[in-house]
Homo-oligomer: A and B are copies of this chain.
Amino acid sequence: MMNEGMNSLDYEARVDRLREKMEDGGIDLSILYQRSNVRYFTGWRQNTTSFSILFITQDELVHMVPKLDKKAVESECWIGPSDTYEIPENPMRKYKEITGFDNNSIDNIGIESEIIFNSRLKNIKENIDCRFSDVQPLITSLRIIKSSAEQELLKEGALAISEVMTDIIEAAEEGMKEKDITAKAKMLMDLRGGETYSFEPFAMSGKNSWLPHRTSTDKKFKKNELILVDMGLVWRGYCTDITRTFTVGGEPDQKKIDLFDAAYEAQKEAKKKVGPGVKAKEVHERAVEVFEEYGLSEYFPHLTGHGLGYDIHEAPILDEGQEIELKPGMVVTVEPGVYKEGIGGARVEDMLLVTEKGHEELTKSERKLI
């Protein structure tokens, strides 16, 4: 039984590319704890309650895993038994013992500066006196461009989640609870072969959509109110994400239609912007512009989109101030939304692959207010 995705993705080549970047950046050793980074290089799908540690130098690769996982990792991960160790009480001391490095051989350690736990950084510093750099930008520069194998997975996943969305909207009816539709969504994502969910899916309706809530509750769907469902399945490690807004039981009133039209128009216009050479902030600015035309920009309280991959939110972020230029191979969501008290919430979200010529839409289900 192979861990999924082992065949089509070349994990070793990813490590080699990071090594090149480490050499250019003067980083002697990278120590990775973040689940998505560790999976990117090892291919190993961790149990949700455990964690692993990956040490990478030009010559060494050391994978520390929970005692309980060691046999499975040894027999299935591309990093073989000779480089796999049980996570000890003191990981950094153990790594020193394994590799025999000292203050002379390691001058600069790359860590995940933002999100490394205080206690883990302390453990490293207690065992070596050297400089520290943030290795995340180097890893992000790799992860942000999806290879053709990754694009294929994201396309498959986006199609699967689009079909689930179509089924969900068809199943929704008056009197159903927000939680019921989410339970159905999860079941359909499982049946489609999703590994798990990109995040806890949620439906928000009526008042819960304009607050806006981001969790499903026992509230029942009422006739003609706006209902928003946001969900994603994880397809062989890769996160997908889609949102649709719909109603049940008949035609909503004009105020709700106008609100939806604004969100949908903002999304269509923002999507048109997506292409190589465009700055991430420009996509967001276009959505803001449209909401301004509708006099609704103060009711648009979030970013326009985000990258997807092993994480549900990763680079690039389509938001104000984001100067990064879009490039072919990036995959992003576009999802401007508007939430107005007494009326409702409206958001349409798609996944787009940036191509040489512009973009390709990966999610496919009906977008109009149904």
Contact = CB atoms under 8 A, between A and B. Distances in A.
A14 interface: no
Interface stretch (A17-25, A66-74, A154-162): A66-74
Given A202-B47, A301-B67, A302-B68, A190 B190 contact: no
A316 to B, nearest CB: 17
A202 to B, nearest CB: 7
A223 interface: no
A213 B72 contact: yes
Given A187-B187, A190-B182, A196-B200, A215 B47 contact: yes
Contacts of A179: 190, 193
Interface bin, chain A: 35 or more
Nearest to A217: B1
A273 interface: no
Contact of A212 (B50, B71, B117, B313): B71
Copies of chain A in the complex:
2
A71 B72 CA distance: 46
A289 B187 CA distance: 42
A111 B191 CA distance: 43
B116 A1 contact: no
A207 interface: yes
A226 to B, nearest CB: 16
Given A117-B117, A200-B196, A1 B67 contact: no
A49 B215 CA distance: 11
Contacts of A183: 187, 190-191
Contacts of A13: none
A162 B304 CA distance: 43
A103 interface: no
A167 to B, nearest CB: 15
17 contacts: A1-B207, A1-B213, A4-B217, A45-B215, A47-B199, A47-B202, A47-B215, A50-B214, A68-B212, A68-B301, A68-B302, A114-B117, A114-B119, A115-B118, A116-B118, A179-B190, A183-B187
Given A75-B211, A111-B118, 19 more contacts: A1-B213, A4-B217, A47-B202, A48-B200, A49-B199, A49-B312, A68-B214, A69-B214, A71-B210, A72-B212, A72-B213, A72-B214, A115-B118, A116-B118, A179-B190, A186-B187, A187-B187, A187-B190, A196-B200
